[in-house]
């Protein structure tokens, strides 16, 4: 079946440093989605990318979808303590199912 790999598994940064997580799919995706799960919380939808090579920004967060629509990245500029959490990418499987990556846990030293 479809696999979504995400790296790194963990990332610890100093507040103010940048952070990037990468996502790779074993198959071409119609779209890719990103979710954030705060410690003790539940995943919350961040963004969906649909077009090949698409780049979207949300304040300090920049999301990219690869040209081949098999990989994606999330980059956070100048991290803040509020960015702490686990970031998951997810690709669709079938009509409504999502296959989630393993997630990247971001911790920040204030």
Partner 1 sequence: GAVVSQHPSWVICKSGTSVKIECRSLDFQATTMFWYRQFPKQSLMLMATSNEGSKATYEQGVEKDKFLINHASLTLSTLTVTSAHPEDSSFYICSAPGLAGLGAKNIQYFGAGTRLSVL
As a dihedral over the C-alpha atoms of residue 70, residue 68, residue 56, residue 89, rounded to 10 degrees, the angle is 0
Q: How far is the CB of 78 from partner 1 (least distance, A)?
A: 25
15 vs 97 by CB, closer to partner 1: 97
10 vs 18 by CB, closer to partner 1: 10
Q: How far is the CB of 44 from partner 1 (least distance, A)?
A: 7
Residues near partner 1 (CB under 8 A) are: 31, 33, 35, 41-45, 47-48, 50, 88, 90, 92, 95-98, 100-103, 105
Strands 19-25 and 71-76: antiparallel
């Amino acid at each position: 079946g479809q696999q979504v790999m995400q790296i790194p598994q963990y990332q610890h940064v100093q507040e103010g440093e940048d952070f990037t997580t990468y996502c790779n799919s074993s198959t071409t995706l119609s779209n890719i989605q990103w979710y954030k799960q705060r410690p003790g919380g539940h995943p919350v939808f961040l963004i969906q990318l649909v077009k090949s090579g698409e780049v979207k920004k949300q304040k300090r967060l920049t999301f990219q979808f690869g040209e081949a629509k098999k990989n994606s990245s999330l980059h956070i500029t100048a991290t803040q303590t509020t960015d702490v959490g686990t970031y998951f990418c997810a690709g669709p499987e079938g009509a409504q199912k999502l296959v989630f990556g393993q997630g990247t846990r971001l911790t920040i030293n204030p």
